[in-house]
Structure 1
Amino acid sequence: MIGYLYPWLLFFHVFSVILSIGPYFILFPLLRRLQEASHEELEHHLFVFRYVVWISKHAGHLLVVTGVLLWWLGGYRWNTSWILIPIFILLSALFFLARAFSPTIKAIQEGKIDRREAVGKLRFSLYAYLVILLASLWFMIAKPTYW
């Protein structure tokens, strides 16, 4: 049974990584458009932004569940460096990731923030989020052993 389950879990784990990271790359051209968008265009752009964040958030839940199951079924030790370091990175960034985009998007919609300042915050959050996820991805692929 485990022999059949493991490859499927691995597939869904990789698929959830793609869904967690991939959609964010569409936001780079969208950030430029946010600065000059009319009010009607702005609503459409912010909808796309919120939708990408929503997809990534839920793919992250699948990523964690499949990762834990792969760790458990694979018989890996929990204190392996390539497992422990990404867990530490993601737990450290959890508060950042949870509130990185939504408050700024809401402030733009309500007109409570200068649009250039908001786009700057969104750009910083986007780069930070991608660095965090890509660093964790590197550990999972390269599997470096530090101890």
Structure 2
Amino acid sequence: MYAWLVYIHVISAMVSIGPFFVLLPMLRKLQSAEGAVLHTYLDSFQFVVRLSKHTGHVLVFSGLLLMWLSGLPWTTPWIFGTFVVLFASLFFMARAFSPTLRKLRQPDHEREVLVRKLGRALYLYMFVLFVMLGLMVMKPALW
């Protein structure tokens, strides 16, 4: 059972991080896209954000089960650090993508400013995901 939970945990981490790489080339294309093509790109962004959110639920739940089965306490440095970063990222993700995507769907928007904001959010969120991944993989003794 433990091995299957580790497998589910790793797959959910891959699925929650991986699709963001597809969005990187789309940032440049968002600058000039119009009409249906623009909405297709925006729909792709929205899909990746939702996919990451839902696989994040699986990731957290499987992580909690792994913690419980292994008997690791919350005070383990890399677990505590990961949860601190996780909770910070939840607030960030809630405000980073959806409002900007909604504004980009409106007819009179400042596209250059919004795409730049979306790009910053994308790179920052990927950095946060990699920090959490690093904590989980390297399991550093932070204190």
- What TM-score comes out, normalization by structure 2 length? 0.96
Determine the C-alpha separation between the residues in 2 that align with 1:43 and 1:94.
25
1:88 aligns with 2:118: no
- RMSD of aligned C-alpha atoms? 1.0
Of 87, 94, 97, the residue aligned with 1:98 is 94
What residue identity is the alignment partner of 2:39? E
1:95-144 Cα offsets, whole Å, 9 max, x none, are 11122111111101013531111110110110111111100100110011
**4+ runs of 1 displaced by more than 2 Å?**
none
| Partner SS for 2:75 | coil
- Give the match for residue 10 of structure 2: 14
Q: 1:6-58: CA deviations, max 9, x gaps?
A: 11111010011001100000001001100001212101111111111111110
How far did 1:78 drift?
Answer: 1.4
> How far, CA to CA, are the matches of 1:56 and 1:47 in structure 2?
14
Of 36, 39, 42, which residue of structure 2 is paired with 1:43?
Answer: 39
For 1:124, the equivalent position in structure 2 comes to 120
Q: Secondary structure at the match of 1:13?
A: helix
CA distance in structure 2 between the partners assigned to 1:105 and 1:50 by the alignment: 8
Number of paired residues? 143
Alignment pair present for 1:110 and 2:110: no
Superposition deviation, residue 92 in structure 1: 2.1
The range that moved more, 107-116 or 130-139, is 107-116
Identity of aligned residues (%): 45
Q: Structure 2: give runs of 5+ residues left out of the alignment.
A: none
Give the alignment partner of residue 26 of structure 2, picking from 30, 48, 55: 30
Structure 1: any 5+ residue segments left out of the alignment? none
**TM-score, with normalisation over the residues of structure 1?**
0.93
Q: What pairs with 1:47-62 in structure 2 (closer than 5 Å)? A: 47-62=43-58
Task: Tell me how far apart the structure 2 counterparts of residues 49 and 101 of structure 1 sit (CA, whole Å).
Answer: 8
